[in-house]
Amino acid sequence: MKLTRLSIATFNLYNLNEPGRRVYTGEGWSQAEYRKKIDWTAGQLTLLDADVFGFQELWHRDSLARALQASGLAGTYDMLVPEDADGSRIVCAAVVRKGLLAGEAEWISDFPEAFMLHSSGDDPQTPQISVNIRGFSRPVLHFTIQPREDGPLVHVYVCHFKSKAPTQVYREDWYIDAKSAYAKHAKNLGAALSTIRRTAEAAALRFLLSELMKGNDTPVIVLGDINDGQHSNTANILTDQPRYLVGDSEGGGDVALYTAQTLQEYRDTRDVYYTHVYQDIRESLDHILVSQEFYDNSRKRLWMFDGLVINNDHLDFDDHKRLGANDHGIVRATFNYRPNSQN
């Protein structure tokens, strides 16, 4: 295979489970709602027609298979879903256009063994800190593709980090034992816990990425719902905050990741990128991040950015169950094979 154009999409499926199965937010889908959801999902797969779709919020493998079948694309893609995706928990998944996949997929549940978040303080006034989280809320999917037989493998990671919603602390023993003292602080403390967990997840994935990328030219794509914005600390940890505004063929960073959102902003006169709406606030929570091999101004460029599409009109309507729609925008980035002539 020698692709001249590669398209990547990230797609939050909004609790895609079999009808009648409960999800964490309560009751799941009726038969009628499920049919609409499958049809809507199938329509998006057909419309976007990406070479790789990374999914979040999948519960049951049969539901994704059914959406693929409804789209008419079941014979076009290899489906990457854990064998135990039986509707009892949320997983990350993917479909990869046949002929692209190289090797076996893995789901990473545990943080790296050497990963550490502990400090005694970097100045005399800073108290000690220690964070003891040892795993991802949603296992990270990792697989490799080979868009060109004369080129390197591309490592793809699909992630879904802890949401901004405050962690529910009312079930905790410490809260129950002193409810009168903690009740007025539950939202604040819960939000802090969610932020700490999401930050730890970003740092753990960054640890894995740096181990893979440091000192070599390994192409990497990270996509998913990081539940934070383009300039958030979560995104900064993942990307290593690279420079963008550099001369032609002079940029690139060994372990850097570049946001497709920023690459698109350099092509547009307006920034209208948003993938989620909550209390009338529009945010970009869903991202595609790429290594220097996909960055236009990189010395190591293999692929040139060719545009971003965001399907988010359905976010103007709140009744997702009735419509069958999801509650996130779907993002697709496209790249053309155009190696830097100085390589």
Give pLDDT tens digits for 158-190: 999 999 999 999 999 999 999 999 999 999 999
Q: What residues of the chain score a pLDDT lower than 70?
A: 245-249, 269-272, 277, 279-280, 343
Task: Summarize pLDDT for 260-274 with one digit per residue, the tens.
Answer: 999 998 887 666 677
- How confident is the model at residue 271, as a pLDDT? 64
Q: What integer pLDDT is reported at residue 58 of this predicted model?
A: 98
Distance CA 232, CA 240 (A): 12
Residue 230's φ and ψ, nearest 5 degrees, are -60, -35
pLDDT for the residue 279: 67
CA dist 275 and 259 (Å) reads: 14
| 39 neighbors 70 (Cβ within 8 angstroms) | yes
Q: Is residue 342 packed enough to be buried (19+ CB in 10 Å), middle (13-18) or exposed (0-12)?
A: exposed
**In this predicted structure, what is the pLDDT of residue 249?**
60
pTM over 0.85: yes
- pLDDT score for 343: 60
- Cα separation, 22 vs 137, in Å, equals 19
3-state secondary structure of 284: coil
Nearby residues of 277 by Cβ (< 8 Å), 6 or more positions away: 283, 315
**Residue 280's pLDDT is what?**
67
Query: What confidence score (pLDDT) does residue 316 get?
Result: 73
Give the domains, in start order, of the chain with CATH numbers: 5-108+136-161+218-337 (3.60.10.10)
